[in-house]
Structure 1
Amino acid sequence: MKTIALANQKGGVGKTTTAASLGIGLARKGRRVLLIDADAQGNLTQILGWSQPDELSPTLADLMEKIITDQPVVLGEGILQHRDGVHLLPANIELSATEVTLVNTISRETVLRQYLSTVKGKYDYAIIDCMPSLGMLTINALTAADSVIIPVQAHYLPAKGLEQLLKTVARVKRQLNPRLEVEGILLTMVDSRTTLAKGIGELLRNTYGSRVFASEIPRSIRAAEISVENKSIFEHDPGGKVAQAYANLTKEVLNCGKQREKHSVDQVR
């Protein structure tokens, strides 16, 4: 199972929409996908159709509490099935208390990784939607992940916050998770008509090169509508430019995996 964290300490960058759309895109390609809502606001849970996350139980908070207190986790416990073929481990406001609890927990950075070890045989991909902060839950997600996708808005200069996040990723890789890689930086909400968006895209590509995905997610009211409609972008606007952009991103993620597998085989040889 490959685990991908979607992280950016700034909110409103399209992170949750990307988590849902990438997960469903991978499921449409025949992959078994678990989406994990790691944000106490429960935005991923809501965007997938569970409009009252605070009424759900068990959630990610409950399962992490079981890991912390050495209670057994039942396979499939708390996981919801979505009509688009993905599974969801939901979150709600109780996750805020988990963040506080983790501060005084032994091996506090590895609790989510321990949970994922209980389901890894069941899925091809686990995608974690992180909260917009660099707190303990995001550190847990990075410690559990094989790679991180960083969505970045194209209509303001994101370099400073991006550098801070990349430093955090490097620190987690050095101290907690040697296998962690940057899957890619994803430009979102791109208005190709503006000089600013083009300039930021060029700046990021010049600075980070192949770390920036070729796919760019355009600004579109269709993308905003899916959180209200409770439909994936592929169902809501299947012929639209946002659906095509997420289909292209899905292909890039699948190809990244193939390239890394090939690289690992070549190294063994």
Structure 2
Amino acid sequence: MHVWSIANQKGGVGKTTSVVSLGALLAEQGHRVLLFDLDPQGSLTSYFGHNPDEIPHSAFDLFMNQGKIPDDVLSNVIIKTTVDGMNMIPASTALATLERNVSQQEGMGLVVSKTLAKLWDDYDYALIDTPPLLGVLLINSLAACKKLLVPVQTEFLALKGLERMVNTIAMVMRSQKRDVDYIVIPTMFDRRTQASIKTLKTLREQHEGHIWHSAIPVDTKLRDASREGKAISQLDHNSRGARAYSLLLKTLLGQE
């Protein structure tokens, strides 16, 4: 199984859209895909029509078993999405209480890793949607992944958020005594504005060697897809957003 985490310590940069878009494209290629929602806000869960305030089983169940995950818990937690071949472990708002209740318990930083280990032969790819805060949930996602995707909105305020994220990556990797391959993904790029153009130029200068060569453009079809609970490739595979995510996936898979 290939495990990718999609993370940034700034919200509203396109994390959930990237998880859904890339996951759907992988599923359309015939891969077995699992999406993992670790954000207490539950944007990924809501994307597919589930209420994080009311969902009966979620990622929270995995943490409540203190890292020991019975098979019946896993079977209850995994649900289907609107994309064939793509399932999901949803989030509940109860995840927000983990920091206070269980973060100091032994093994809490490896719950996601242990979960994916039990599912290793069932899926080809797992994509993890993360919260925008450094804590036990983000630590779990970084510990589990082999590739880290960092979406960054192409506007100046996002640059500081990226700086914090890169520092967090370095800190966590030092504590875990390993490296993680990360790639910065410029999002919401609007070639009509100088702010977007200048921010993209700055990103490429400051993160040379770790930044995708293209960008995800502003595209209202991405918002339309979210509203309908579909991936952009399901709604309009010829849209600018769908073509951009297809190009990104080729880069991530080393096909270009």
SS state of the match for residue 149, structure 1?
A: strand
Greater shift, 230-239 or 37-46, is seen at 230-239
Check if 1:15 corresponds to 2:15.
Answer: yes
8 A Cα contact 2:42 2:52, kept in partner: yes
Which residue number in structure 2 is paired with residue 153 of structure 1?
153
Q: Matched residues, percent identical?
A: 35
Shift of 1:82: 2.0
Q: CA deviation at 1:220?
A: 1.8
Residues 1-269 of structure 1 aligned to structure 2 (within 5 Å): 1-47=1-47, 49-68=48-67, 70=68, 72-74=70-72, 76-84=75-83, 85-176=85-176, 178-182=178-182, 184-255=183-254
For residues 191 and 177 of structure 1, the distance between their equivalents in structure 2, rounded to whole angstroms, comes to: 39
Cα distance in 2, alignment partners of residues 101 and 111 from structure 1: 15
* Contact 2:98 2:136 (C-alpha < 8 Å) held by counterparts: no
**Offset at residue 210 of structure 1 (A):** 2.8
Distance 1:99 1:58 in 2: 19
Partner of 1:263: none
TM-score after normalising by structure 2: 0.92
Unaligned regions of 5+ residues in structure 1, if any? Answer: 260-269
Contact 1:150 1:186 in 2 (8 A): yes
Aligned partners of 1:143 and 1:180 also within 8 Å: no
Q: State the number of aligned residues.
A: 254
TM-fit CA distance, 1:248: 0.9
Tell me the CA shift for residue 62 of structure 1: 0.5
For residues 111-134 of structure 1, give each alpha carbon's deviation from its aligned partner in whole angstroms, at most 9, with x where no partner exists.
221222111111111110001111
Task: Indicate the residue corresponding to 1:266 in structure 2.
Answer: none
Partner Cα distance (1:134, 1:216) in 2: 26
CA distance 1:71–1:160, shift in 2 (3 Å): closer
Find runs of 4+ consecutive structure 1 residues off by over 3 angstroms.
73-77
Tell me if the contact between 2:82 and 2:230 (Cα under 8 Å) persists in the aligned partners: no
Range 129-138 or range 97-106, more displaced: 97-106
Q: Offset of 1:179 from its aligned partner?
A: 4.4
**In the alignment, residue 251 of structure 1 is paired with which amino acid?**
K
Residue type at the aligned position of 2:252: V
Query: Could you tell me how far apart the structure 2 residues matched to 1:204 and 1:166 are?
Result: 13
Equivalent-residue separation in structure 1 for 2:118 and 2:179 (angstroms): 19
In the alignment, residue 123 of structure 2 is paired with which amino acid? Y
CA distance in 2, matches of 1:99, 1:146: 24
The two structures, once aligned, show a CA RMSD in angstroms of: 1.8
Q: Structure 2: how far apart are the matches of 1:165 and 1:72?
A: 33
**How far does the alpha carbon of each residue in 1:70-112 deviate from its partner, in whole angstroms, 9 at most, with x for none?**
4523454411122312110001112112332232211332222
Normalising by structure 1, report the TM-score: 0.88
Once residues 249 and 76 of structure 2 are traced to their aligned partners in structure 1, the CA distance between those partners, rounded to angstroms, is: 28
Task: Supply the distance in 1 between the matched residues of 2:158 and 2:207 (Cα, whole angstroms).
Answer: 13
Which residues of structure 2 form unaligned runs of 5+? none
